[in-house]
Structure 1
Amino acid sequence: MTIDAPVDAAPVRAAVPSSISNLLTAPILPTLLRLAIPNMIAMVGSTLVAIAETSYIGRLGTIPLAAIALVFPFAMLTQMMSAGAMGGGVSSAISRALGAGNRERAATLALHAAIIGLCGGLFFTVLMLVFGKSFFTLLGGRERVLEEASAYSSVLFSGAVAIWLVNTLASVIRGTGDMRLPSMTLIGVSLVQVAVGGTLGLGLFGVPQFGMRGVAAGQLIAFTLGALFFIWYLAAGRSRLALNFAAFRFERAMFLDILKVGALACLSPLQTVLTILIFTKVLATFGTETLAGYGIGSRLEFLLIPITFAFGIASVPMVGMAIGAGQVKRARRVAWTAAAASGITVGLIGLIVALDPALWVSLFTRDAGVSAAAHAYFRLAGPAFAFFGMGVSLYFSSQGAAHVGGPVLASTARLLIVAIGGVWLATITAPAWTLFALVGGAMVVFGLLTAASVAFARWGK
């Protein structure tokens, strides 16, 4: 049973462009797929980056591979907060304004979003440059592993502003229902990152080998170019929003409209990464091989978020515009359709790697100990990926409706299960496979609790 606010469906205003009106009237599944496919293509680029980066880091040795396992959660936290959490808040606010027919408000929100993105990037730069080495030490980094992790992090997070601006400005454009331009840009960013990172990291084509610093520099350069392109695109008036820079002034209400969704939503990726960090800390006691094996496994788990992102973020403007126009029932149908598509897609990936983990693991290592740990992770956690995909997609849809409290609490439950259960299993010296099973069970709980929260939430104005 669902409980909705008693809001009558409001007619679409005549002034609303057809590109926006279609999101309020077109069939849900075809429209969702049309919006999701560009995101999915962009995520293929992100997947290729992850595969390439892990592959050439693996060529640098086992120590760099273990080091990237320490840094990767923080790198993904930056991406998840800027693109999925705060970015979802940006898209939600803009799409709700457009659904209500208020294009001027949507354009003003876009400028406030850029300021939030700039501040978010600066925060991560300061945080990781000052405390990064301490974080890695707490996770079990020692000696050369710690040195390599610190080298990679110092270069990567010096450009956190570029990462935040790329994802924030992409979210502005997505909020208008335009998924193609952000996706094409992110594909370009991915190609530059692979080419530059691989060249500098491995010392290709006669270039000096910079190791981990070179790999990180590839991402920094790529996202800087992406941020400059988005700034030019929006400033030149090429988007669906006409930005009036001359009339801009700070408005507290605009920041609050974004932050009431984005700030609360940031707790979810924070808890997701904290879950991984706690688990990484526990596994560090099992040795470098187990830690490196889990790093390979958790990398695919993180990559499932961008895949669910493709469906989830496509639902944000559809849900947001429907809520803005008073079409609450349509907003719910969009949410559940996206959740089903995401759960099925991610579930199939989880099933495949559970049946044959070597399909993924062999891309990165042939070390017997590392491979054994990664195989155990996939066989026990892989079957639960479908619940994870469903939960993450509903988290995005809830952003569109400006009701993210339930999904955030579901993430809290997942964190507590892994934290409390993981510490207990470690104290009784349980084998590593029991910890991997715990992760799978926590995914199932997360998905079911998120679905329940959406089913009973009160959506509407």
Structure 2
Amino acid sequence: MTIDASLDAAPLRAPVASPIASLLTAPILPTLLRLALPNMIAMVGSTLVAIAETSYIGRLGTVPLAAIALVFPFAMLTQMMSAGAMGGGVSSAISRALGAGNRDGAATLALHAAIIGLCGGLFFTAMMLPFGRSFFALLGGRERVLDEACGYSQVLFSGAIAIWLVNTLASVIRGTGDMRLPSMTLIGASLVQVALGGTLGLGLFGVPQFGMPGVAAGQLVAFSGAAVFLLWYLLSGRSRLPLNVRAFHFERAMFFDILKVGAVACLSPLQTVLTILIFTKILATFGTEVLAGYGIGSRLEFLLIPITFAFGIASVPMVGVAIGAGHLQRARRVAWTAAAASGLTVGLVGLLVAIAPSLWVSLFTRDPGVTAAASSYFHWAGPAFVFFGIGVSLYFSSQGAARVGGPVLASTARLLIVAIGGAGLVMAQAPAWTLFALVGGAMVAFGLSTAASVAFVRWGK
């Protein structure tokens, strides 16, 4: 019998320990905001890192800027899978176990999660080191753009294990309702990444200039240090869920309880990145300026995922504990409250860049052609960001309830709209702005479809 099956059989068999109990009894919105705030601060750090890295690369020239547009979807894919998809599965399994009073089961789940994190990192290293160049070439990378993309990718993905471990172990801690420690760790890693990436990439303070590989090395070193710290924290007994490695025993059911949510959820970021890759391939035919402009625009779209992550991942332990304890109505109220907060925040960002795209675009380039392309993207896609925020937040809440099928199908619908619609517009020789409008329409479809799946799919047993 799996952990989840045992929860369905006897959801109230054991008392829920404090501070986990507060997730069941405290007012929803204040609790959600309290849990989301540390994540929001950490995500602001991640945003600053992305801005800094793009600024470094922009100073290196237009060719490196176009190259990062090829690598960025793969870099975000490993982040999204490890932190959002599989990470959400980890937090969900642990919070549901804690909600049912099964503390020992939650601790065993955490150790199994660490094994999954190691395997996930190894997979990305094994895929990107030998095949990265082929992937970038399929996206339209040529000559110097392709070489720059490979230089960045080789360094970054040699340390994919560190990225997966950091996000997996952070998800273990978040599953207990502790958002502060993971956020503080990510903030520290962000500071190291900015300082080291800038120094090595641009050759500051007398250090040789390593260019794109130097920028990637900043993230590699920062996440390696963060992984070591989180391992120490969990093994030292200081966390809410101390781990006992000596008592560990392999259980197939534990992997199933994580993977039945995490593995299915991984399809959603995979489809999201595939959507971006298809669109990148289409836009590559319009020239380097349009591709670089879209790279700036899509980078903000990717960075909105961490903002919705702050609200969505805060809802996971609240929903999971409520599901484990049998409080299904509260679980749904948490989900809709998080979706409203996420949609409002992201929608305001989208409206702002739609009205004044230069606020974002001018941070990275002064090239007229690149600026025009990025501005066109924001004019058409920016107003739809509100639906994107709602959809992503409900995707996380569905992880907490172990019901991710609907949100994944919504991602599939978005992918099909972009792929089929984009191909049709290219065949019709439509201008670039029509493709950007298509992206906005796909976001609307994604948000509405995800909301419908949450509204009509039964949660609980």
The normalised TM-score by structure 2 is 0.97
Within-5 A mapping of 1:48-59: 48-59=48-59
Name the counterpart of 1:127.
Answer: 127
Q: Give the Cα–Cα distance (whole angstroms) in 2 for the partners of residues 42 and 277 of structure 1.
A: 27
Residue 8 of structure 1, CA deviation: 12
> What one-letter code is carried by the residue in structure 1 that aligns with 2:278?
I
Q: Contact between 1:32 and 1:338, CA under 8 Å: does it hold in 2?
A: yes
> What one-letter code is carried by the residue in structure 1 that aligns with 2:279?
F
Name the counterpart of 1:448.
Answer: 448
Cα 1:9–1:243 change in 2 (3 A) is: closer
Q: Contact between 2:358 and 2:375, CA under 8 Å: does it hold in 1?
A: yes
Residue 17 of structure 1, CA deviation: 2.6
Name the counterpart of 2:416.
Answer: 416
Is residue 435 from structure 1 mapped to residue 435 from structure 2 by the alignment? yes
Cα 1:306–1:426 change in 2 (3 A) is: same
Residue 249 of structure 1, CA deviation: 1.1
Within-5 A mapping of 1:112-151: 112-151=112-151
Q: Contact between 1:91 and 1:316, CA under 8 Å: does it hold in 2?
A: yes
Q: Give the Cα–Cα distance (whole angstroms) in 2 for the partners of residues 350 and 387 of structure 1.
A: 10
Q: Give the Cα–Cα distance (whole angstroms) in 2 for the partners of residues 336 and 385 of structure 1.
A: 17
Q: Give the Cα–Cα distance (whole angstroms) in 2 for the partners of residues 335 and 159 of structure 1.
A: 34
Q: Give the Cα–Cα distance (whole angstroms) in 2 for the partners of residues 400 and 10 of structure 1.
A: 15
Q: Secondary structure at the match of 1:246?
A: helix
Within-5 A mapping of 1:42-121: 42-121=42-121
Q: Contact between 1:8 and 1:326, CA under 8 Å: does it hold in 2?
A: no
> What one-letter code is carried by the residue in structure 2 that aligns with 1:54?
T
Q: Contact between 1:88 and 1:171, CA under 8 Å: does it hold in 2?
A: yes
Is residue 331 from structure 1 mapped to residue 331 from structure 2 by the alignment? yes
- The count of residues paired between Structure 1 and Structure 2 equals 454
Q: Give the Cα–Cα distance (whole angstroms) in 2 for the partners of residues 365 and 240 of structure 1.
A: 46
The gaps in structure 1 that reach 5 residues or longer are 1-6
Q: Give the Cα–Cα distance (whole angstroms) in 2 for the partners of residues 52 and 9 of structure 1.
A: 50
Q: Deviations over 1:286-335 (max 9, x none)?
A: 00000000000000000000000000000000000000000000000000
Name the counterpart of 1:389.
Answer: 389
Q: Contact between 1:315 and 1:400, CA under 8 Å: does it hold in 2?
A: yes
Within-5 A mapping of 1:21-32: 21-32=21-32
- Moved runs in structure 1, 4+ residues, more than 3 A? 7-14
Residue 18 of structure 1, CA deviation: 1.8
Q: Secondary structure at the match of 1:181?
A: helix
Q: Contact between 1:56 and 1:202, CA under 8 Å: does it hold in 2?
A: yes
Is residue 312 from structure 1 mapped to residue 294 from structure 2 by the alignment? no
Q: Give the Cα–Cα distance (whole angstroms) in 2 for the partners of residues 9 and 294 of structure 1.
A: 51
Q: Secondary structure at the match of 2:247?
A: coil
Cα 1:389–1:354 change in 2 (3 A) is: same
Residue 9 of structure 1, CA deviation: 11
Within-5 A mapping of 1:9-408: 13-14=14-15, 16-408=16-408
Residue 37 of structure 1, CA deviation: 0.2
> What one-letter code is carried by the residue in structure 2 that aligns with 1:337?
T
* Alpha-carbon RMSD: 1.1
Name the counterpart of 2:5.
Answer: none
Q: Give the Cα–Cα distance (whole angstroms) in 1 for the partners of residues 222 and 346 of structure 2.
A: 28
Name the counterpart of 1:4.
Answer: none
Q: Deviations over 1:350-383 (max 9, x none)?
A: 0000000000000000000000000000000000
Residue 273 of structure 1, CA deviation: 0.1
Q: Secondary structure at the match of 2:158?
A: helix
Q: Give the Cα–Cα distance (whole angstroms) in 1 for the partners of residues 374 and 13 of structure 2.
A: 52
Q: Secondary structure at the match of 1:33?
A: helix
Q: Give the Cα–Cα distance (whole angstroms) in 1 for the partners of residues 271 and 55 of structure 2.
A: 28
Q: Contact between 1:38 and 1:183, CA under 8 Å: does it hold in 2?
A: yes
Name the counterpart of 2:4.
Answer: none
The gaps in structure 2 that reach 5 residues or longer are 1-7
Q: Contact between 2:14 and 2:102, CA under 8 Å: does it hold in 1?
A: no
Q: Contact between 2:12 and 2:100, CA under 8 Å: does it hold in 1?
A: no
Residue 242 of structure 1, CA deviation: 2.5
